[in-house]
Amino acid sequence: MKSTSLMLIFLLSVSLLPTAFPAVAPPGVTSALTVLKSTLRGRWNTTGDNACTWQGVVCNPAGDVIELHLPGVGFMGPIPSNVFPNLTSLNFLSLRFNSITGPLPNDLSSLTQLKFLYLQHNRISGNISDVLFKFPKLLRLDLSGNRLSGGIPIGFNNLTTLVALFMQNNQLTGAIPDLKLDNLKEFNVSYNLLTGTVPEQLCSAFPSSAFAGNSLTVCPYKPSSSGGSGDNNGGSRKKLSAGAIAGIIIGCVLLLLALLLLLFFCCCRKNKKDDQPAATRSVEAAAAVPATAAAAETAKTSDVETGRASNGQSSATVPVVAKSKAGGSGIDKTLVFFGNAPRTFDLDDLLKASAEVLGKGIYGTTYKAALENGVAVAVKRLRDVTATDKEFKDKMEEIGRMEHENLVALRAYHCSPNEKLLVFDYLPMGSLSALLHGNKGSGRTPLNWETRSTIALGAARGISYIHSQNPTSSHGNIKSSNVLLSNSYEARVSDFGLSQLANPGVSANRVAGYRAPEVTDPRRVSQKADVYSFGVFLLELLTGKAPTHALLNEEGVDLPRWVQSVVREEWAAEVFDLELLRYQNVEEDMVQLLQLAIDCCAQYPDSRPSITEVTSRIEQICRSSTRAGQDPLSEIASDADNSPRPS
């Protein structure tokens, strides 16, 4: 541990030394990058006359720009022409997490040395440009999280060196072409509008999650499991012995008796259930397969009553009520939907869905429910709800109106005297808690600095949106298991507002390690108490330690106190997760985020920053991660081979 501290001190000291002989960019390069900045504006730090010293610019000794790392600098609008012909040595280009729009300039094709192109999470629209197929050395291409439409071009087959291709979360249509990319190791087209059958080569090489969220037929190529007829085996034609025949007859008789007994048992159980009240059967059904699942977009619209705004509200906030087809029972089987997408299923349809337990929390059990059409959602079956039905419905209306890219949206709810059910988007990546603490074996994928800082920023933005609704709005239960992740590791905050509905005795049993010291009633958590919980969340993200596992001595020191004692008595590097110590160019940013977490965990509420200030400081930290001339993720690239280099 001491050697690690000394190493980090040495690296920080070396990083402060001025570069003796920095490369000097030729006038054409400086002029081209100046055009890029003046056109796209943003917050790109270009201090000085030498472009090789600008933020995110990496030059070779001759002054040629070989890497350009400009993620999240606020670029807006289309990329200008007459920039890239002056950057022909460029092999790494990252413009992700901006607001760039299309189309891409044709002279982008002049980057014949380009190996890594990251354009994810912009606003690029229209068809996929043919200019992307003119990079003979391209290894990784990320177009995810844009607004691309049209089909997937067969021109991708020109990129024979391509190792990774990401196009998820767009609006692509049509069928997936037969891509012949022998080197492709990573591929994702999930959550588009694609149809048809996945080509066999892709289907066999990549998991079904790479094609989720489309209307695709995945992997229909597996051969039948039925055995051969035996006609080619001469031994199969031999006559059976008398003993074998007798054994077969006895076995068949015993099997028939077993089936009759099973049928009799099932009939008895059915008659017993039929004698129970209908309301009881509904509760049992919900417990066996928790009701609710995502909206099926292909059923008949006659089953849906669509609410329309009559008071000037946005149509996205007007609930859509789908009634049960079994309307004669007199039981309320309605689902109240939010959003303007077509909703054509009801509680009975959802009871038929297969269910899988995702987790059990203090407010109830969460399931993954898969409908017959392949759509999956998360369903939370609440327990110990003390609010009245009116209070519950009012709260659901409030939560349902919250729409933000960093929140897990409430899609529908069901409220009856015996059941309270919530339907959310299903996120297959699961929670940050599972990712941080679930797998500590040799097969674990390390969480790098950029991923963690991006998760912190997304979670902060989601909570900031909740706090912006009114001065008393709060989450009430911030912790790592309530921060879910999208396929691209973007944070989605869940379970906001539910603490106000639960039994106070049950709520008091939530993980104490996150709770602010002033909180006495878990149903009434202030915004500053949320900030404290978020501070503990940041400490967990940086240290890799869960608050419940941070009791490092018999006196039960909690995570904030342990971090503060280590920082005060030793050196900040001692608290960081070992997986973060490999990123030696972002130590300053890690320390800044650590200090922010400590500020959030101040003992007195008035000493804590607001979540708006927290978000702003994390944004500054994320932007400064490029000041050393590269993205944090690029540290994990191997210089010895052609392994893909992260954006």
The DSSP result for 82-100, as a single string, is SSGGG-TT--EEE--SSEE
CA distance linking residue 467 with residue 457, whole number of Å: 15
Q: Residue 461: which of 602, 617, 317, 587 has the closest Cα?
A: 617
Q: State the first-to-last Cα distance of the chain, in angstroms, to the nearest integer.
A: 30
531 token code pair: 């900030």
What is the number of other CB atoms lying within 10 angstroms of the CB of residue 502?
24
What is the number of other CB atoms lying within 10 angstroms of the CB of residue 262?
10
Cα 125 to Cα 101, 119, 214: the distances in Å are 7, 12, 19
What is the number of other CB atoms lying within 10 angstroms of the CB of residue 320?
22
CA distance linking residue 465 with residue 472, whole number of Å: 12
Do residues 426 and 378 make contact, with C-beta atoms less than 8 angstroms apart?
yes
Alpha helices, DSSP H, located in 469-555: 504-507, 527-543
Q: In a 3-state reduction of DSSP, which class is residue 236? A: helix
The DSSP result for 242-255, as a single string, is HHHHHHHHHHHHHH
109 token code pair: 């094709």
115 marked as part of a ligand binding site: no
What Rg value do the Cα atoms of the chain yield, rounded? Answer: 29
Listed in sequence order, the residues at least 6 apart from 253 whose beta carbon sits closer than 8 Å to its beta carbon are: none
* Binding site per annotation, positions for ATP: 380
* Binding site per annotation, positions: 380
